[in-house]
Amino acid sequence: MAEKEIKTAVEDFDWDAFENGDTHAGKSREELTKTYDESLNTVKDKEVIEGTIIALNKREAVVNIGYKSDGIIPFNEFRYNPDIKVGDKVEVFIENQEDKKGQLILSHRKARAARSWDRINEALEKDEIIKGYIKCRTKGGMIVDVFGIEAFLPGSQIDVRPIRDYDIFVGKTMEFKVVKINQEFKNVVVSHKALIEAELEQQKREIIAKLEKGQVLEGTVKNITSYGVFIDLGGVDGLIHITDLSWGRVSHPEEVVQLDQKINVVILDFDDEKKRIALGLKQLMPHPWDALDSELKAGDKVKGRVVVMADYGAFVEIAPGVEGLIHVSEMSWSQHLRSAQDFMKVGDEVEAVILNLDREDRKMSLGIKQLKKDPWEDIEVRYPVGSKHTAKVRNFTNFGVFVEIEEGVDGLIHISDLSWTKKVKHPSEFTTIGADIDVQVLEIDKESRRLSLGHKQLEENPWDVFETVFTVGSVHEGTIVEMVEKGAVIQLPYGVEGFATPKHLVKEDGTSAQVDEKLNFKVIEFNKDSKRIILSHSRIFEDEAKAERNEARKAKRATKRQEETPVISTPIEKTTLGDLEALAALKEKLSE
């Protein structure tokens, strides 16, 4: 049987031709060449055809297109597809069938580019998932090589989570969806986020369906803002408000958590559609008030750190999550209104006395002035009536000056007790805030914690002397220093001031005196108790004229009286001729 088969196999073989070296007996070389050429693909330059990768290394790929020689393509033209392997079908562009070395020149990149725009549009139309190679970063996102076309990948479309480091994606091959094409400018926008959103949406629905208040879940810190922390619960985001991060004060959430940190959180609340989920972190820890020393009571001293400042006081943390308020009124024995910032600032370590402790409402009030002795306990001993001291001006009012002799000991200098001579309209004319001023204690009001003080009392009352100098009717030189509605203020010698009404400012020529004029004034009224001197310039020449008129009237009355006085003679006992002659002469004289 075997012999029969062998005989059949070699029956037609031309052994003579084989021995002579002719293996193609009966066929010419031309015929054989023609037959070989017809067995190969017919290719043309600048044509795109499909080939098979038959060899692959880090530098190049060998591609068989069924031609008489294989083509070589640089491997970097396949970097968009890291999964490329021997046997894969790829499109190639025939650049040259045979170069100087007889090598077939192919290009995969040009083949992709030749059909890329059609494939991009097809991918958008069919919502197809395609692969792309991230080439580099650009403003706002990345540049992706898709089918040989440079497409734009926005930063917001890389992932569902915010991306902080874009560089880690450069050089990676990822799957994308085409989301937008600008046909006019040939711009393509792709998204990787769109691929995972559908999957996340399903996960999100499953998670939301199971959400319950009080439920504890593990999440990842997705984003940190000044007001709170966003937690990724596995496709569903929740917010931990800054006040729910810790029982203690938190200036910024970064003090408590870090990005990408995995933490356990409790669900505090959510809306009807469960789109807004409020989470808590501190609720998983015991409240620090529950761990507060049970022996702590009002009157005890505690130490703490100032964590918050306000105009009305300071919040002091005596233990993590346990705070007490020092009201500004408990910072100093002084009743002078001041801001809490005048005594302390955030970060200060302070010692205080517990004034009130309410464990049920978790409130505590503290004081620091109680660490010092109340200066009003022995005020009569340290500041008796009549004693002299130096005080600091703290504030002004229209009626006086508030001063502080020491912290907690305030007093008022009434505006009338500032000067014996100067008429002070407002305390700012006499002194300034922050200045030192000498005072004498006039009165003590221990109940109201206020002293009545005087400044002028440190000097003798000059009005005792002025009473003898500025007597009514006396004339003094003065200067008009101010014109007011009801008259003028006149500066007199010895620093004292007087006042004249408009009618007493009229000069002898009929004009009125003006500011800065120096004239003589007559005192027409002096009141020691009210420290008032009323002056008149016009009274000077008016009184002189009146005196002259009075003198003239007196002279006239004297003359008249002389003329009207009768001549009284002694009785004549006996009339003689000589007497008659004398009477006649007297009559004649009187007639003249």
Residuewise pLDDT in 10s, the chain (592 residues) = 444 444 444 555 555 555 555 555 555 556 555 544 444 455 666 677 788 888 888 888 888 887 777 888 888 877 777 778 888 888 887 876 676 676 777 877 777 776 778 788 888 888 888 888 888 888 888 898 888 788 898 888 888 777 778 888 888 888 888 888 887 777 889 888 887 776 777 777 777 777 888 888 888 998 899 899 998 887 788 899 998 888 877 888 988 899 889 999 999 888 766 678 899 998 888 888 887 887 888 888 899 999 888 888 999 988 888 889 999 888 887 776 678 888 888 888 999 999 998 888 888 999 988 888 888 888 888 888 888 888 888 888 888 989 888 888 888 999 888 887 777 888 888 888 888 988 888 888 888 888 889 887 787 777 777 777 888 888 888 898 888 888 889 888 887 888 998 888 888 888 888 888 888 898 888 887 777 889 988 888 887 888 888 887 887 777 777 766 665 544 545 545 555 566 666 666 665 5
- The last residue of a domain, from among 84, 113, 142: 113
Q: Which residues does residue 305 pair with via DSSP β-bridges, in sequence order?
A: 317, 349
Question: Does residue 364 share a domain with residue 294?
Answer: yes
Does 515 map to a domain? yes
Does 531 map to a domain? yes
Question: Does residue 443 share a domain with residue 390?
Answer: yes
- The last residue of a domain, from among 158, 173, 196: 196
- The last residue of a domain, from among 170, 196, 222: 196
Number of H helices, E strands in the chain: 9, 30
CA distance 469 to 461: 14
Secondary structure of the chain: what % helix, strand, coil (to 5)?
Answer: 25, 35, 35
Question: Does residue 361 share a domain with residue 292?
Answer: yes
Question: Longest Cα pair distance anywhere in the chain, in angstroms?
Answer: 239
Does 186 map to a domain? yes
Question: Does residue 89 share a domain with residue 155?
Answer: no
CA nearest neighbour of 93 among 84, 82, 79, 104: 104
Contact by Cβ (8 Å): 402, 435: no
Question: Does residue 106 share a domain with residue 91?
Answer: yes
Question: Does residue 451 share a domain with residue 468?
Answer: no
Number of Cβ within 10 Å of residue 121's Cβ equals 14
Task: Count the residues in the chain.
Answer: 592
Give the strand pairing for 277-280 and 237-241. parallel
Question: Does residue 443 share a domain with residue 487?
Answer: no
The CA distances from residue 30 to 17, 35, 69, 207, 297, in Å, are 18, 8, 20, 77, 118
Phi and psi at 339, nearest 5°, equal -90, 150
Question: Does residue 347 share a domain with residue 408?
Answer: no
Give the strand pairing for 363-367 and 322-327. parallel
* Summary mean pLDDT of the chain: 80
CA angle 501, 505, 508 (to 5 degrees): 150
Question: Does residue 170 share a domain with residue 155?
Answer: yes
Question: Does residue 535 share a domain with residue 478?
Answer: yes
Does 530 map to a domain? yes
Identify residue 193 by its one-letter amino acid code: K
**Structure letter (DSSP) for residue 74:** E
Number of Cβ within 10 Å of residue 148's Cβ equals 19
The pLDDT tens digits of the residues spanning 116-126 come to 787 888 888 88
CA nearest neighbour of 77 among 97, 100, 53, 98: 53
Does residue 564 sit in helix, strand or coil? helix
CA nearest neighbour of 179 among 187, 188, 170, 166: 188
CA distance 128 to 122: 8
Question: Does residue 26 share a domain with residue 13?
Answer: yes
CA distance 247 to 292: 13
Does 564 map to a domain? no
Question: What predicted TM-score, i.e. pTM, was given to this entire model?
Answer: 0.41
Number of domains the chain is built from = 7
CATH number for position 109: 2.40.50.140
Does 406 map to a domain? yes
pLDDT for 14 equals 57
Does 557 map to a domain? no
Does residue 550 sit in helix, strand or coil? helix
Question: Does residue 383 share a domain with residue 359?
Answer: no
Does 559 map to a domain? no
Q: Which domain holds residue 512?
A: 463-542
